[in-house]
Structure 1
């Protein structure tokens, strides 16, 4: 059984893993620094080294900052993950990055494409990646450029009772199209990568094949919405090349109905008071 230290386990994606890793041949160590997790490891990676929790095979860092003045912490958290791996004997480190590093070109983007992030968040994740590779020093480091995650995104994850979402509408009448992955599928992929028997590439796009229109997701979820003209800065689509991922961990193409079905299985939907 592989022991995996999951940093940021109290967040939304961490909750997906806590729910959907049940029954897998993985011995997770759930790290938290805010909302307590029963049986978890309390550790603030910004203030000190990881406590001894026994030998670890892999470190998966989901911790991160998405906006505001703290974006520089993304690099600090990656460094903490590298330090934890060395202290606990893990040879593999998986860092949650983002498709936002690619910038405003529609793609599909392969991992070898040049990155020109268009947002401060994307720039912070690219800086994190560069620092991690420069400081890997023998560790097997892989940065996961994750696409939109159904339920952890601003669309499904942002739904609230009585609030009607508003979508950008482009001249062709469509909403933005993005590379998506369902929460249950993401949990399976992350588990497979953490335990994979061979060397992983340094960068890996993570999504299900295909592009999903945001209006199709809301339609599948039976949620009504309104339109607004897409601003000139809006990106109609952002696709990801997934050949590397499909070689390592084949997954089915995305579809609005299946993405919504996976989202509806999650604790965040079924137990709205859950902090994740």
Structure 2
């Protein structure tokens, strides 16, 4: 790694992985700390660590990097503990680190990536479906690359394309059928990232945050993976 500009740690333990393997969610902190130590040991100037919107809990937003986090899931709590531990170690080692709180990634999400026949989506009284901050796989890769080259990054940075996308609109753009169901009390209507800090450092394609743009990136990824 010596001579490189950044160490990027996107690895982690998700709830699904933990359930299938028995790995502890606390390993998220271990992985992040290992990345910080490795970079500091060989003088790599920056570390980028993958975190999650789950650290914000049930807040709808706009979710800003400097707001208090109140995770409601064990995964969100583990990711928040990872952030705190990594930032503390980085400060102690005088190692620049930026935690990337990544929104829903098209195709790796529960809606587009988890679509199945007969899928139901909560529908709100106004006919809309829950909306989330999203980013496509190609755009995510481009963002991470640009951040590796950037100077003066903050310790925490939200990562999503500008705007917000309804779940139903995403499936409609993909031509995947779904069935509406009445939203319950537990339905979170909107989870919206503030991307102002990211947009100061990264340029986005005009349709990067649209349902059509996200689906196009997802399909390109699938075609490349199959090829």
Compute the TM-score of the two structures, normalised by the length of structure 1: 0.74
Cα deviation, residue 142, structure 1: 0.4
2:4 paired with 1:56: yes
1:248 aligned partner: 201
Distance in structure 1 (CA, Å) of the matches to 2:118 and 2:37: 44
1:44 aligned partner: none
1:126 aligned partner: 80
Bigger helix fraction: 2
2:44 paired with 1:96: no
Distance in structure 2 (CA, Å) of the matches to 1:98 and 1:231: 24
2:224 paired with 1:264: no
Give matches, 1:186-201, under 5 Å. 186-196=140-150, 198-201=151-154
- Structure 1 unaligned segments of length 5 or more: list them: 1-52
Aligned to 1:157, which of 97, 108, 113? 113
Aligned to 1:176, which of 89, 110, 130? 130
- Structure 2 unaligned segments of length 5 or more: list them: none
Distance in structure 2 (CA, Å) of the matches to 1:165 and 1:55: 49
SS at match of 1:65: coil
What whole-Å deviation, never above 9, does each CA across 1:97-118 have from its counterpart, x for those lacking one? 1111111121011111111112
Cα deviation, residue 175, structure 1: 1.5
What whole-Å deviation, never above 9, does each CA across 1:183-216 have from its counterpart, x for those lacking one? 11111110000121x1210010111111100000
1:143 aligned partner: 99
SS at match of 1:151: coil
Distance in structure 2 (CA, Å) of the matches to 1:92 and 1:77: 16
Give matches, 1:201-220, under 5 Å. 201-220=154-173
SS at match of 2:38: helix
Count how many residue pairs are aligned between Structure 1 and Structure 2: 217
SS at match of 1:174: coil
Instruction: Check the 8 A contact 2:2/2:44 in 1, yes or no.
Output: no
Cα deviation, residue 247, structure 1: 0.5
- Quick one: structure 1 residues 80 and 95, their matched pair in 2 at CA, closer, same or farther if it must change by over 3 Å? same
